Amino acid sequence: MKIAITGKGGVGKTTIAGALARLYNDDGYKVLAVDADPDANLGSAIAGVSKVQREIVPISQMKKLIEERTGAKSGTVGSFFKINPKVDDLPERLGIELLGIKLLVLGGIEKGGSGCICPESTLLRSLIRNLLVERNEVVIMDMEAGIEHLGRATAESVDTLLIVVEPGLRSIETAKSIKKLAYDIGIGKMFLVINKAKGGESDHIKKKIEQEIPNLPIIGWISESQNVHLADMEGESPYDLDEEFVKEIGLLKKELEKRS
Pick from 37, 60, 236, 239 the residue near ligand ATP by CB under 6 A: 37
Nearest CB to Mg ion, comparing residues 42 and 87: 42
Nearest CB to ligand ATP, comparing residues 24 and 81: 24
Pick from 175, 222, 249, 256 the residue near ligand ATP by CB under 6 A: 222
Nearest CB to Mg ion, comparing residues 14 and 44: 14
Pick from 6, 14, 44, 160 the residue near Mg ion by CB under 5 A: 14
Nearest CB to ligand ATP, comparing residues 122 and 237: 237
Q: In what order do the strands lie in the sheet with 31-36?
A: 96-98, 101-105, 31-36, 138-143, 2-7, 160-165, 189-197, 218-223
- Minimum gap (Å) between residue 103 Cβ and Mg ion: 14
> DSSP string of 87-146?
-TTHHHHHPEEETTEEEEE------SSTT---HHHHHHHHHHHHHHHT--SEEEEEE-SS
217 contact choice in Mg ion, ligand ATP, none (CB below 5 to 8 Å, kind-dependent): none
222 contact choice in ligand ATP, Mg ion, none (CB below 5 to 8 Å, kind-dependent): ligand ATP
Q: Say which residues have a Cβ less than 8 Å from residue 203's Cβ, sequence separation at least 6.
A: none
219 contact choice in ligand ATP, Mg ion, none (CB below 5 to 8 Å, kind-dependent): none
Closest C-alpha to 65, from 124, 4, 111: 124
Q: Does 11 interact with ligand ATP (rule: CB under 6 A)?
A: yes
Q: Does 195 interact with ligand ATP (rule: CB under 6 A)?
A: yes
In eight-state DSSP terms, residue 198 is P
Q: Does 236 interact with ligand ATP (rule: CB under 6 A)?
A: no
Q: Does 149 interact with ligand ATP (rule: CB under 6 A)?
A: no
Reduced to 3 states, what is the DSSP secondary structure of residue 81? coil
Query: CB under 6 A: which stretch of 5-13, 62-70, 80-88, 171-179 binds ligand ATP?
Result: 5-13
> DSSP string of 46-80?
HH-GGGS-S-PPPGGG-HHHHHHHHSS-TT--SS-
Q: Does 187 interact with ligand ATP (rule: CB under 6 A)?
A: no
- Backbone φ and ψ for 84, nearest 5 degrees, come out as -125, 60
Q: Say which residues have a Cβ less than 8 Å from residue 180's Cβ, sequence separation at least 6.
A: none
- Minimum gap (Å) between residue 84 Cβ and ligand ATP: 30
Binding site residues, ligand ATP, CB under 6 A: 7, 9-15, 37, 145, 195-196, 222, 224-225, 228-229, 232
